[in-house]
Structure 1
Amino acid sequence: MRQSFLGGTRVGAGLAAAGFVLAVTFGATARDQGWSPLEAIVASVLIFSGSAQFALLAAGGAALPAVAAALLINGRFLPMGLAVGPSLSGGRIRRALQGQAVVDGSWVAAHLGGGRFDRWRMFGATAVQWPAWVAGTAVGVLTAPSPHLVETLGLDVVFPAFFLALLLGEVRGRRPLTAAGLGAAVAAGLLWWVPAGIALVGATAGALIGLTGRSEEVTA
């Protein structure tokens, strides 16, 4: 357990560095939109999701659209949680608490293949990322760098590039590549008619390729 946890912290350090930079961008943008430092920091402490928090900003202060967008974007955590569930331990409450460590980078880092996850590796990766996210938000909201500086330094593209790197590491083989291509095609098509949050949820249709593979394995 100790080795897995420490391995997770090493992986999480790189994820935390990218998260810190994005959190600075969130904090600065929140301040520019009139959020108080306390509001921005509490949002990062409780929500701890870049996609959901930026969705709140994009809603421009309208409560219902903001909550709806955040729920749609974070809908990906439902299948992720179901996937990692069998690898958690204890009763319902304990498993629910452990499930709070399910964030994108940690989930990928903990994946062992075959539907198995190293929960201690996931815990270690998240334990590093959460304080970095909160600290980055505090730096951004308190120093409030200008949007022009954020764009000049390229801070607004750090996380998309980070997720692209994660994707490239996962699409080894025909089936993962097909799933990624299907998800990208579905998202691109939906963007013509629906908001980005819904398109993102629709992109999870690519995961149906995995169900096809599972049924083939069972039949064999």
Structure 2
Amino acid sequence: MRAAWRDLSERLGPGTLRDILLVNLAVGIVGVSYGAITVGDGLPLWAPNLMSIVVLGGASQFLFTGIIGAGGSPVAAVLAGLLVNARHLPFGFALADTVKNRPVLGSYLMIDEVVAFALSEKDPVRRRLVFFTCGGCLWVFWNIGSLLGGLLGSAVTDTDAFGLDAAFPAVLVALVMPALRDRRTRTVALVGAVVAVAVTPLLPAGTAVLLALAALALLPLMRGAGEAS
């Protein structure tokens, strides 16, 4: 095992492997938050662990738990999760060559953090290695985190008192911060945030975030304005 890990470190480079582990450590912390919140909302201990294995999608899992916890129907929760995961369609197009030899496993591991690491690599062979390494690490960290969180949620009745509900949005903010260096991206993100906040009281849980994606329509307009100037 140690020799295999050393070989992987040499192939990826210690910096890349370190970054993968650090990001997935954060994913594991979010998994603790997810497991604790799910069990704290009254779902059985097996529920977050089963969903983490079958679904392996933090955003859709949090959304499912939030809708069920608020009294929504399981059908509405599943549909909302499917809508949120619609973003994986362009992920699949972008990484089709990377996962073509293992399409089922590749589709299963096609999570935001894994996609981000893979797309940062130009060499196809290295991109494939980074994709499956990051995906395998994420699977381990997320499932261990959700199990520990579920056990914690069984022992603690008020998980919000420990700030566990803030872990998921905090990690998302950390992930998007580098992209916000671009002025156009900041503008689109701000418009999307305003839209989401404005319609949240009016729409079912989870749909406000999807509607905020309409802000992406600004990108072609801003690009055209930049070329004209």
Q: Shared fold by TM > 0.5?
A: yes
Change (3 A) 1:5 1:196: farther
Q: Give, as a single letter, the amino acid of the residue that structure 2 aligns with 1:88.
A: T
Deviation at 1:135, TM superposition (A): 0.9
Aligned to 2:204: 195
Map 1:126-141 to 2 at 5 A: 126-141=135-150
Aligned to 2:28: 20
| Aligned match for 1:146, one of 156, 165, 173 | 156
Aligned to 2:56: 48
> In terms of mean alpha carbon deviation, does 197-206 or 32-41 score higher?
32-41
| Aligned match for 2:82, one of 48, 52, 71 | 71
Extract unaligned runs of 5+ from structure 1: none
Aligned to 2:65: 57
Change (3 A) 1:133 1:154: same
Change (3 A) 1:212 1:145: farther
**Is 1:90 equivalent to 2:100 in the alignment?**
yes
Number of corresponding residues: 213
Aligned to 1:207: 216
Q: Distance in 1 between matches of 2:166 and 2:105?
A: 32
Q: Distance in 2 between matches of 1:10 and 1:55?
A: 30
Q: Give, as a single letter, the amino acid of the residue that structure 1 aligns with 2:82.
A: L
Q: Give, as a single letter, the amino acid of the residue that structure 1 aligns with 2:109.
A: A
Matched residue of 1:194: which SS?
coil
| Structure exhibiting the larger radius of gyration computed from Cα positions | 2
Q: Distance in 2 between matches of 1:184 and 1:135?
A: 32
Give a deviation string over 1:39-76, Cα, whole Å, max 9, x none.
Answer: 33111111112222222222337321221221222222
Aligned to 1:158: 167
Identity of aligned residues (%): 27
Q: Give, as a single letter, the amino acid of the residue that structure 2 aligns with 1:32.
A: G
Deviation at 1:169, TM superposition (A): 0.7
Extract unaligned runs of 5+ from structure 2: 1-7
Give a deviation string over 1:162-199, Cα, whole Å, max 9, x none.
Answer: 11112111122222222222322332233242134212
| Aligned match for 2:179, one of 159, 170, 173 | 170
Q: Give, as a single letter, the amino acid of the residue that structure 1 aligns with 2:49.
A: I
Mapped contact 2:121–2:127 kept (Cα < 8 A): no
